[in-house]
Structure 1
Amino acid sequence: MNANAQALSGTHDHDHAPYVEDNFLATTTSVERLTPSMIRVVLKLDGGERLTPTGHPDEWVRLALQPDPETPVTLPVLMENGKWGRPDGSQHCPNRPYTIRRWDPATCEMVIDLVAHEGGVAASWAMNAKVGDVVGICNPEGRFWIPKGSEWLLMLTDITGLPAVGRVLEELPEGFRAIVHVEIPSDADRQDIDTAADASIVWHACHGLKPKRPGYTELSRIAGTITELPEGPGYIYIAGEAKAVSDSRKHFRDVLGFDKNRIDAIGYWIEGQARV
């Protein structure tokens, strides 16, 4: 079992290393429409041997994009005062957080899956991305960590959390119990995910605007359909729209009486607001 699998199976606690800021330019080497709602890009990082992985399978980076079609992506630099800035007066690049679906340190290639939707800085870039496009990337941060002694995992996400679900399932040790619920726009957005874990995935094709209900997500309703949890200590990971994630957390904590210290609930986006 590798170190990551040991960590995921809860055989030791996680030591938080301080975040090391660093920035990289990355060139797009591949663009693929994975499903109707998901675009996969492969990025090769210049100087990627410096990248510091977090050890968390939900780790994310910020993708920095061109300020306008005529202005190239530039990186901030470490200044003499120890802060990062742009003493040359170069333009700040708009950026958005995305999960690292895979990282290959040998080739310095990073796979990122982006949800395809109208509007939004990064989604618009993804829908028009082409080989040769240059973006900026920072060192990753992560959150997912199964507490020591856990016997099972429950993941509840909308499609924005699907890249994290995929990577977590791929990295779970053999036989570890995982119950997964993912909200997607359509059945065509299901993905085949290889895992050695004892995993069950339920796909809920209800994400997106619908005539008879407000908003994009039914995550909290899906949470409410989960009326019992496995025996023994476990870990619950929730990711998606911020209010829906918070409501889902309350269901597990208040209705099912689950230990709040064993829940990670992450708002990936806010209804009516751009992801920043």
Structure 2
Amino acid sequence: MAKPNPRLLEVIQTKYITPHMCRVTFGGAELTDFPADQESAYIKLMFSQGDDTRPLMRTYTVSAQRDNEIDVDFALHETEGPASTWARNAQVGEQIWVGGPGPKKLINNEAEWFLLIGDMTALPAITVNLAQLPADARGYAVLEVSTEADKQLLKKPDNVDIHWVINAHPNAKTSPLLDRVQTLTWLAGQPAVWAACEFHSMRALRQYFKVERPIPKTHLYISSYWKVDSTEDQHKIVKREDAESLE
């Protein structure tokens, strides 16, 4: 399938939904043929580096979609990259090239209970996943945010419990997400697990779901969305090498 051409989109609105999460709403004439039902799909934001240099591309999730509008939520880290810096300073009317959408990554709904795990970079995708679960779904969402003020009110089934983890300084040596997951009461039946977070934390979780709580590949999605002290381009290389080491 041919990749869709990038679209030139326009900033319609910006707002902080929490102190470390900035929402940018995009619209414009070129969004009119954007496919429907793309919440949780990924897009590529393109940042110009000059006429003769390939633009920097950064990957983000469509967190909400309405008629001719999409929302994209930007997690703001201690060390800001080009995308979060751009989002913090974006002005209404500003334009940016956007590629995609790419495939949606949804949890396997054919399960007896559900476990969703992620940090702030994955929170937009987890928000969509929680909202689309069956009304009678049960399980947990373990969500890591920078401060207490970064907690969000999320739409979810009544029997899915949310566990917030506060971690102001993510690092390569600890995984507060795994620490909290290990305290959960493991429910009976086949779980489906969806996890996305920082690279080192992802590897710790992957090992846990391989050895201590084995989950079949049909019911496990696990990915790293970023790597501490690395650019997205550096993270891509490490991510690819890590995937190849598992083959």
1:225 alignment counterpart: 183
Matching of residue 60 in structure 1 with residue 42 in structure 2: yes
- Number of aligned residue pairs: give it: 232
Distance in 2 between the 1:215 and 1:32 partners? 33
Matching of residue 41 in structure 1 with residue 42 in structure 2: no
1:204 alignment counterpart: 165
Q: Is the helix fraction higher in 1 or 2? A: 2
> Contact 2:120/2:145 (CA < 8 Å) preserved in 1?
yes
2:151 alignment counterpart: 190
Higher radius of gyration, 1 or 2? 1
> Contact 2:172/2:201 (CA < 8 Å) preserved in 1?
no
2:69 alignment counterpart: 109
Identity %: 22
Distance in 1 between the 2:107 and 2:76 partners? 30
> Contact 1:208/1:216 (CA < 8 Å) preserved in 2?
no
TM-score normalised according to structure 2 size:
0.83
Cα pair distance change 1:229/1:258, threshold 3 Å: farther
Cα pair distance change 1:194/1:261, threshold 3 Å: closer
Task: Using the TM superposition, give the Cα deviation of residue 223 of structure 1 relative to its aligned residue in structure 2, in angstroms.
Answer: 3.4
1:50 alignment counterpart: 33
1:29 alignment counterpart: 12
1:274 alignment counterpart: 231
SS of residue paired to 1:163: helix
Alignment match of 1:99 (pick from 56, 61, 69): 61
SS of residue paired to 2:153: coil
1:14 alignment counterpart: none
> Contact 1:253/1:260 (CA < 8 Å) preserved in 2?
no
Structure 1: stretches of 5+ with no match in the other structure: 1-17, 69-88
Superposed, which structure 2 residues align to 1:141-220 within 5 Å? 141-147=102-108, 149-196=110-157, 198-208=159-169, 218-220=176-178
Distance in 2 between the 1:19 and 1:203 partners? 40
Q: Name which structure has the greater RCO, CA cutoff 8 Å, separation 6+.
A: 1
Superposed, which structure 2 residues align to 1:219-258 within 5 Å? 219-226=177-184, 228-258=185-215
> Contact 2:198/2:228 (CA < 8 Å) preserved in 1?
yes
Distance in 2 between the 1:218 and 1:64 partners? 32
Distance in 2 between the 1:27 and 1:224 partners? 44
> Contact 2:9/2:30 (CA < 8 Å) preserved in 1?
no
TM-score normalised according to structure 1 size:
0.75
Q: Tell me which stretches of 4 or more aligned residues in structure 1 moved more than 6 Å.
A: none
Superposed, which structure 2 residues align to 1:64-83 within 5 Å? 64-67=46-49
Distance in 2 between the 1:189 and 1:204 partners? 10
Cα-to-partner distance string for 1:232-263 (whole Å, 9 max, x where unaligned):
22210110112211210211221023324311
The letter of the residue matching 1:99 is T
Distance in 2 between the 1:256 and 1:262 partners? 12
> Contact 2:12/2:24 (CA < 8 Å) preserved in 1?
yes
1:84 alignment counterpart: none
